[in-house]
Amino acid sequence: MTAFEPLADLADLPEGALLAVRSSAGEAICLANVKGRVSALVDCCTHAEFPLSDGVIHADGTVECVWHGARFDCATGAVCKGPAVDGVVAYDVRVEGGKILVGPRRPIGAEAAR
Ligand code: FES
């Protein structure tokens, strides 16, 4: 995915929520809203491929995979707690006109440009 495309309404992603969406290219993406900051990760835990969108957001800005408890930084995809070893890929995100637009993938662990 190289261009930004609208994948959800902001109204469908309240603070503290996760939402599974799919890009027009078929990529499964997990949207997260951490204290009003929206981010997007590949919707697949790197430990054993459980959907992160079925997980839980914690106050420290991490998403916990509910299968074995790995945690990833919602903003960067970096691993914060095992058993996962590898981070998950994050996407650039914009919120415009009440829509969540997801764009290109970022290098693992990279912060979004601000
Ligand atoms: S599949 Fe996510 S922690 Fe095991």
pLDDT in tens, 4-58: 999 999 999 999 999 999 999 999 999 999 999 999 999 999 999 999 999 999 9
81 and 47 Cβ atoms separated by less than 8 Å: no
Look at residue 16 in the predicted model and tell me its pLDDT. Answer: 96
Pocket probe mutation, ligand 1, options 46, 68, 81, max atoms within 8 Å of Cβ:
68
- Which atom belonging to ligand 1 lies closest to the Cα atom of 49? 1
pLDDT at 112 over 70: no
Query: Structural domain boundaries of the chain?
Result: 5-105
Query: Which residue blocks in the chain are alpha helix, DSSP H?
Result: none
Beta bridge partners of 68: none
pLDDT at 97 over 60: yes
Q: Which numeric CATH code is attached to 5-105?
A: 2.102.10.10
pLDDT in tens, 62-86: 999 999 999 999 999 999 999 999 9
